Amino acid sequence: MKIGIFDSGLGGLIIAKAIRKEMPKYDFVYLGDTKRVPYGNRSHETVFGFTREAVEYLFKKENCAIVIIACNTASARALRKIQQEYLPKNFPDRKVLGVLIPTVEEVASYKRVGVIGTTGTIASNTFPIEIKKINKSTKVFQNPAPMLVPLAEEGEKKLAIGFIKKYLKPFSSKKIEALILGCTHYPFYKKEIRKILPKNVRVFSQDEIIPKKLKTYLSKHTEIAKKLSQKGEAKLLVTDMTKNVEKLSKKWFGENTKVKLVNI
């Protein structure tokens, strides 16, 4: 059985590459819903429906034992319902994990935290809610950064700089100590973001967090780990072969990457 990684688009490839580097022996399947990206402006019901379809595809068609939802919008708006309602009824022996809670665990010790994310992730208020469950005294400041997803999907950096400065400006008066890049597309811009922010602000990028968290999870959940095949294979699937798919998949995952079109 394999490890599945799902994202609304191609941004999750940055996470997938980091996971594969940390755990090279395992077999992976990446599914990017490039036909319906972005998820950030969708309703809760729509995000849940799209995410459930993707998870079901990875379980049924790709024989995944565990699926990582490498999408903060889906993690915020669909994960809990999938874990509590969908899995027990349909796949009680499989696991679905998100990227949001592992990130929260890393920043909860800070007193003043900033978050940028999609409109949907910020509107859900999930980051502040989950951070305060761990540390009630942490002050959390949020700002949506919706344009960074389509720009990242285009592989565009120059045009993004102006938007990045605009999205970070509200934090300048908040004296934040840490900033969460609350979207799996945003690591594409982490160098630019670190240059713009004061040097004393620590930037938390999920490609630097999730691989180690997953490795630790599997070491504790041997019932899942022992099911996983270890041939070192990786498969990339997309729901629409957009003009940037091949270019970005090679850039974000590896030069020898081959992508297959599927219908979920």
> Residues with catalytic annotation?
71, 183
Number of other residues whose CB lies within 10 A of the CB of residue 132: 15
Q: Hey, what are 81's tokens?
A: 């319902």
Closest CA to 34 of 50, 14, 48: 50
| CA 86 – CA 244 distance, rounded (Å) | 33
* CB distance 177 to 111 below 8 Å: yes
Q: Where are the alpha helices (DSSP H) in 87-197?
A: 87-90, 100-107, 119-124, 126-134, 148-153, 158-168, 190-196
Q: What angle do CA 108, 10, 66 make, to 5 degrees?
A: 65
CA distance 205 to 227: 29
Q: Contact 65/27 with Cβ under 8 angstroms?
A: no
